[in-house]
Amino acid sequence: MGEEAEERPLKRIAEAFHELDLAINSIKGQEESRGLDATRFSRACSLVSFLFGCLGIAFKFAELDYVAKVEDLKSASESIATLESMLQLDIDQDTVRKAGSHTRNLLRVKRGLDMVKVLFEQILVSEGNSLRDPASVAYAQVFAPHHGWVIRKAVAAGMYALPSKSQLLKKLNEEEATARVHMKRYVSTSASVVHYVNELFLTRNLGIDW
């Protein structure tokens, strides 16, 4: 991550997902499109890793899992041009649900993006300086249905070690006003990205709840 990304990571995230949203809208406007560029997608997702790292022990599992799977997609994108091609390759090789497959990793990266979207939505409507309620809602809505009791219990305990909202903004080098602008932008654009990835799975009858 370059110096500029370290200085304004939230701004960089919002801009990257705005570009992804534009790319998706462009694809929708083409009768014959190759699909969504895997390199562009994985690079945008890699920026979100910084945010997971800011949330502390409660989301350490998510940070480690997310970073590893984004790195896999980045490596795969060097030889596989689009997300569509990644899925098709796994379908052809009957490895869709195999641990470590690009398709499985894409599904989990998508959940990470969705969790951040819900977290930002909750922060935008919450009052006070605590992130516990926004983070708890985001975890319960996106991750908890796929986790066993042990992980859910550990996350619940870790919620007490979350940074405050002001501490998070300081780590992101943002004032509250600018942070709200970037969060709103990410919420709207990531919704398009999450929907696009969901459709990749659903239109191929792969399901998204595994």
Tens digits of residue pLDDT in 36-75: 999 999 999 999 999 999 998 888 888 899 999 999 999 9
pLDDT for the residue numbered 31: 64
Inter-axis angle of helices 9-28 and 176-202, nearest 10:
40
| pTM to 2 decimal places | 0.92
Q: How far is CA 126 from CA 121, 159, 190, in A?
A: 9, 16, 20
How many angstroms separate the CA atoms of 79 and 176, rounded?
41
Q: Which is it for the CA torsion 185, 190, 193, 198, positive or negative?
A: negative
Q: Name the amino acid, one letter, at 104.
A: R
pLDDT band, very low/low/confident/very high, at 32 (cuts 50, 70, 90)? low
pLDDT at 189 over 80: yes
List the chain domain ranges. Answer: 3-201
Q: Mean per-residue pLDDT for 80-89? A: 97
How many angstroms separate the CA atoms of 150 and 173, rounded?
34
Query: What is the fold, at CATH topology level, of the domain defined by 3-201?
Result: Glycolipid transfer protein, GLTP (1.10.3520)
Q: Mean per-residue pLDDT for 148-160? A: 90
pLDDT for the residue numbered 17: 98
pLDDT for the residue numbered 3: 43
Rank 20-29, 55-64, 170-179 by mean pLDDT and report only the highest: 170-179
pLDDT at 29 over 90: no
pLDDT for the residue numbered 60: 87
Q: Mean per-residue pLDDT for 3-26? A: 87
